[in-house]
Amino acid sequence: LKNVTIGVFDSGLGGLTVLKELLLKLPLHNYIYLGDTARLPYGSKSPDTIKRYLDQSIVFLKSKNVDAIVVACNSASSVIQNDINYGLPIFGVIDPSAKVAVENSFNERVAIIATRTTVKQKSYVKSIQKLNPLISIYQQACPLLVPLVEEGLIDDPITNLILYRYINPLLQVKPDCLILGCTHYPLLLNPIRKVVGNELLIISSAESVIKDVEKNFPTPKLSNQDKIKTPQIYMTDESYMFENIYKTLFPEKEVPAVEIVNFL
């Protein structure tokens, strides 16, 4: 067991849902978060552009001496190239959630909500069908959700209405589970629950990726959650909603300072 420094990368603030799980489940590691807020959203950009942004962010995090990187963004995870040696372990969020979905798909029907890029790239479709080609997959791109979360409209009638519009058609196929294929979406868990009811299994990429990281970098458990370390936070531009979202995720914690970096 050894403490390491893990870089956590997202296009913006959504990856903080992954950082939260990492801090709770693997609290003895050090964490450096990078949000590419200057170029958010990734979810509507082309794979080539996202690949370029991801490469730059990996270079930045490596300059901070991280031992591994969690790509806490589905849109960016969709363009990780398995045949490239990035020089350190890179954990994407797609395969871990796909695995949980396959394990729980008793009627072989999986529903996914995600950004446009993730849907268009068919990242989950490929990952799930590699494990079980018989599973039918129903995807819905939800381009309005990331801006709603970044604006802090989490508990809001407008958000409820939009979620209903996106998710209700998926429910008609009676899926076994719903994958939240974007790291912003766990912040909408309560309103999503209102639409899908209490029975449906909701799989969040924030939770699924932890197992992969833990397997490679196990740490002892921390008995006292108060000892959770403060992560170092970098953004590529000012983010007015950072404080708000950080407080939503970590109500007990002091909001860390954000350092703006300029490697673009």
As a whole number of Å, the end-to-end CA separation of the chain is: 36
Tell me how far, at minimum, the Cβ of 201 lies from ligand DGL, in Å.
19
In the complex, least distance from residue 94 CB atom to ligand DGL, rounded to whole angstroms: 10
Question: For residues 180 and 48, is the Cβ–Cβ distance under 8 A?
Answer: no
Question: 224 is written with which tokens?
Answer: 């006292």
**73 interacts with ligand DGL by CB under 6 A:** yes
Cβ distance 228 to 23 under 8 Å? Answer: yes
Binding window for ligand DGL (CB under 6 A); candidates: 20-28, 39-47, 134-142, 238-246: 39-47
By C-beta, is 92 or 191 nearer to ligand DGL?
Answer: 92
Please tell me whether residue 40 binds ligand DGL under the rule CB under 6 A: yes
- Buried-exposed string 63-76: b where 16+ CB fall within 10 A, e elsewhere: eeebbbbbbbbbbb
222-251 footprint of ligand DGL as x/- string (CB under 6 A) = ------------------------------
C-alpha of 35 from chain center: 12
Contact 205, 94 (CB under 8 A): yes
Site map (CB under 6 A) of ligand DGL, residues 94-133, x = contact: ---------------------x--x---------------
Whichever of 105 and 123 has its CB closer to ligand DGL, that residue is 123
Tell me whether residue 182 is one of the annotated catalytic residues: yes
State yes or no: residue 41 binds ligand DGL (CB under 6 A). yes
> What does the alpha-carbon distance between residue 99 and residue 101 come to, in Å, rounded to a whole number?
5
> Which is the catalytic residue, given 16, 68, 73, 112?
73
- Residue 10 in the binding site for ligand DGL (CB under 6 A): yes
Residues 6+ apart with CB under 8 A from 242: 13, 35, 233, 235, 255, 258
Segment lying near ligand DGL (by CB under 6 A), choices 70-78, 79-87, 165-173, 245-253: 70-78
The tokens of 150 are what? 């970044």
**How far is 175 from 220, CA to CA, in rounded Å?**
37
CB within 8 Å of 19: residues ≥ 6 apart: 8, 31, 33, 72, 231
40 vs 102, which CB is nearer to ligand DGL? 40
What's the min distance (Å) between Cβ of 184 and ligand DGL? 5
Active site residues: 73, 182
Residues contributing to the site for ligand DGL (CB under 6 A): 10-12, 14, 40-43, 73-75, 115, 118, 146, 182-184
